[in-house]
Amino acid sequence: EIVLTQSPGTLSLSPGEGAALSCRASQSVSSSYLAWYQQKPGQAPRLLIYVTSSRATGIPDRFSGSGSGTDFTLTISRLEPEDFAVYYCLQYDSTPWTFGQGTKVEIK
């Protein structure tokens, strides 16, 4: 099983600042089958990024993904008020598919 470790656990930032969220895998995620989700309280997760760097439909370009192998990053260039949420990475390369434990981006 591929274990995904996200860091930091919590990121305290102000609107307008940039954010870099890390997702490290215990073994290589081949074919870059790594996705990022945003989840707000009481809501289902929303797909932001798939295959490491492709933005899902309707996702603003302030969200970008990068990485390969075992190290992946979600970057939010300028935080908008609606971006404060919990973010999860998902590897869908090998079963069982696994999620990271999440990074909470909170308002400072």
Partner 1 sequence: QVQLQESGPGLVKPSQTLSLTCTVSGGSISSGSYYWSWIRQPAGKGLEWVGRIYTGGSTNSNPSLKSRVTISVDTSKNQFSLKLSFVTAADTAVYYCARGLARKGVAGRVIYGAFDIWGQGTMVTVSS
Q: Under the rule (CB under 8 A), what is the footprint of partner 1?
A: 1, 33, 35, 37, 43-47, 50-51, 56, 88, 90, 92, 95-102
The distance of closest approach from Cβ of residue 8 to partner 1 in the complex, given in angstroms and rounded to an integer, is 15
Q: Which is nearer to partner 1, 33 or 64 (CB)?
A: 33
- The residue behind tokens 């390369």 is 93
The distance of closest approach from Cβ of residue 15 to partner 1 in the complex, given in angstroms and rounded to an integer, is 26
How far apart, in whole angstroms, are the C-alpha atoms of residue 98 and residue 108?
30
The distance of closest approach from Cβ of residue 13 to partner 1 in the complex, given in angstroms and rounded to an integer, is 21
Q: Which is nearer to partner 1, 9 or 14 (CB)?
A: 9
Q: Which is nearer to partner 1, 14 or 57 (CB)?
A: 57
Q: Which is nearer to partner 1, 37 or 72 (CB)?
A: 37
